[in-house]
Structure 1
Amino acid sequence: MFDFVGKFFKGRPDKKQQIAAANQRATALKQKAAKQSRGIGFDAGLIDNLEKDHEQLVEIFGKIWKDGFEAGNFEVLTTSLSEFKTLFQSHLLKENVKFYAYLEQSMRQDPHSLSVVREFRRDMNDIANAVISFCRKYERPEYTKVAKESFKKEYQGIGQALVRRVQLEERDLYSLYAPS
């Protein structure tokens, strides 16, 4: 007569199983949220890596002038420009993806510092556009007298901007990179 009551309780899921499943879902959601909130992690070797890039970039930039332009060896100049551009782009990726993203993430609670870091980043992007344009413009095997004169002038301007930027980064900006 009261079989329907027994059948009702037998057909219901076990409370312990429901609670265990809910706890598993909650744990998985917490882990997912923790991973998402971590963002970019601190890389203890990043600053050394970026400074080594600077050394290599300065060396190649000097080679463009000395072994390429001054020596009148435009094949070396072209090859060195290509090598410089490739390393420069790789360096920019590291800075943008690891360095600036980490700084912006760590400084999100300090609007003034965040604004300063973003301004540094915009400045670097402007310099980067000029450097890449310069490299593309002169990655060619033939140079006219006019091209040589404009190369000399632009090379000096790019060199001054890069020296100023590297000094600024290594002296002021890299000191902000620390574990949060």
Structure 2
Amino acid sequence: MFSPNIHDIDEKKSRLQGMSGAGATGHPDYDPALIKHLMSDHAALRDLLIRLDDHARHRQFAKIPGTLARLRDGLMRHIEEENEHFYAYLFRSAANDGDALEDLERTCAKMAGMARLALLFTRHYTEIGVTLLNRDAFSRDLEVISSLLAERIELEETSLYALYRPQDRTRGNRVLRNDGSSLCGVCLKG
């Protein structure tokens, strides 16, 4: 079983805040196609997790390294796009609301931790490989990672993505509020 090391979550959070805070060189614009694209990524990531489970169950060990690499690469690309386009936009939108910004920082740190565990999982099993001897451990770890990513995806799709809306140009920067379109009462307060 792999042992995660999550010591750099604060560093990633600071980097995200730097992208969206004062002095950032570029601000992400609202993209009406972004959420659909991110949800498509989620479907592809779920498919890769199912494939990994199938490969382990059917003892197709030779297929696991390639599928792990696709999961790692897809997850890294997805996280970078979310950080650059989605979370940076939300941070900028919440810049004038301390409570919303604080809640967003906590949520972002939680999301980063989940993603980091998934990436550590892919690295661990890429390095040691999956064989008949460690297949059960791989399957247990895969179940945990699948559950974590499912939680992250559900939170994003049912709550956070609803907060991604164009800014009201007549009022300047929009303050993020949970107006009922978001089901997440913990993430951003209304």
TM-score for the superposition, normalised by structure 1: 0.75
5+ long unaligned stretches in structure 2: 1-23, 168-190
Q: Which has the higher contact order (CA 8 A, sep 6+)?
A: 2
Find the counterpart in structure 2 of residue 63 from structure 1.
Answer: 51
Native 8 Å contact 1:60 1:80 kept in 2 = yes
The DSSP-based 3-state class of the residue aligned with 1:109 is: coil
Contact 1:40/1:98 (<8 A) preserved: yes
Rate the CA distance shift 1:112–1:142 in 2: closer, same or farther, 3 A. closer
Distance 2:142 2:130 in 1: 17
- After TM superposition, the score normalised by the length of structure 2 is 0.71
Which residue identity is paired with 1:72? R
1:46 aligns with 2:29: no
| Partners of 2:109 and 2:158 in 1: CA distance | 18
Structure having the higher Rg:
1
> For residues 152 and 59 of structure 1, what CA distance do their matches in structure 2 show?
16
* Superposition deviation, residue 114 in structure 1: 1.3
Which residue of structure 2 aligns with residue 166 of structure 1? Answer: 153
Task: Name which of structure 1's ranges 92-101 and 147-156 shifts more when overlaid on structure 2.
Answer: 147-156
CA RMSD in angstroms, aligned pairs only? 1.6
Q: Structure 1: which 4+ aligned runs deviate by more than 4 Å?
A: none
* Change in CA separation of 1:179 and 1:37 when aligned onto 2, cut-off 3 Å: farther
Count of matched residue pairs: 143
CA distance in 2, matches of 1:70, 1:144: 10
Alignment match, 2:88 = 101
Partners of 1:161 and 1:38 in 2: CA distance: 32
Residues of 1 paired with 2:31 and 2:103: CA distance? 22
Higher fraction of helix: 1
Q: Which of 164, 179, 185 is matched with 1:177 structurally?
A: 164
Identity rate of aligned residues, in percent?
26
Name 1:92's counterpart in structure 2.
79
